[in-house]
Structure 1
Amino acid sequence: MDRSKQVMLTGQLKWVERIASVMDDKFCLPGTNFRFGLDPILNFIPFAGDVSGFIVSAALLYVMAKNGVSRKVLILMAINISIDAAVGAIPLLGQISDFYIKANTRNIKLLKEHYQEGKHTGSGNGVIAIIIIVLLIVLSAVLYVSYISLRWLFAQF
């Protein structure tokens, strides 16, 4: 990578890092090392908080995609954002989990590993294959449990 591109990416990374910090770990509980950001605070506003946090995370993902991060990193970042959004949407559990599941911070770690250490390069096809396999296993388990439950239910009549 040429020097001018590297300087531009470093500037973009710093901007993204600041936003991620505000969302995930800007504040500290006095007398502890426990850090949190605006994301869990916003999520106390039903629906709007979840959506706003997701939009910020998606915007950060878009900025990195525009600046040439590898497809594999984008997939891993999207998984972090999706898990954060899915768990965050569950009432009560979502509010609690937002203090611990910090998708933006995890995504910054992925970016640093990618740009500074050369990790997570490639197409990401392996990650996609693993996701599909896991989803098929989960679907199979759900279908099997449903079948067994229905069979047991009909046997009761």
Structure 2
Amino acid sequence: MLRTTLEFRRVLLRTRLQRLNSYLSSNPTLRTDVETDEDGIPIRPTWSVNELLSSYPKPTISPAKLKHLHTLSALIPPEEGSPEHAKLTEEMQDLVKLVEAVKLVNTDSVDDGNGIPDGRIWAEGTGIDLDAEPIPVDENEVRGRDLLKYSKNVSPEGLYLIDSDRSK
């Protein structure tokens, strides 16, 4: 059923794109110079993210802010003044620029129903079969806390210990 649903959606999308392409090509006021394939999909990109973002100002991230972000992420920051630090700062500034540009998009005219996006991974009407038989478990398989017997880093209380190269 899932396959037929996907095939149906592909056919429907292809039909709609062909109609749109036909409409655009028959109406000279709407015609564009974009070359498309038989399904109405542009052959080459019509715009790029870099081109779009080039008009936005680039934010600055101070070394202290970058260090703070690393602390929040439990990561060790590169040494200040190093090429890695400069590259990471540049990449973070680009990410902040992208996020700020996305936040500027006016979405007032978008009707989103109840405001909750549809996050299903299955087509509507399908899903997990809750009445299915459970998967048999191998009795010889080591599971759960028994796995800690094979570790060298276990506390006397039976907890797994993690070495940290950060001091706090």
TM-score by length of 1: 0.23
Higher relative contact order (CA 8 A, sep 6+): 1
* Higher gyration radius (CA): 2
Kindly indicate which of the two structures has a greater share of residues assigned to helix. Answer: 1
Q: TM-score normalised to the size of structure 2?
A: 0.22
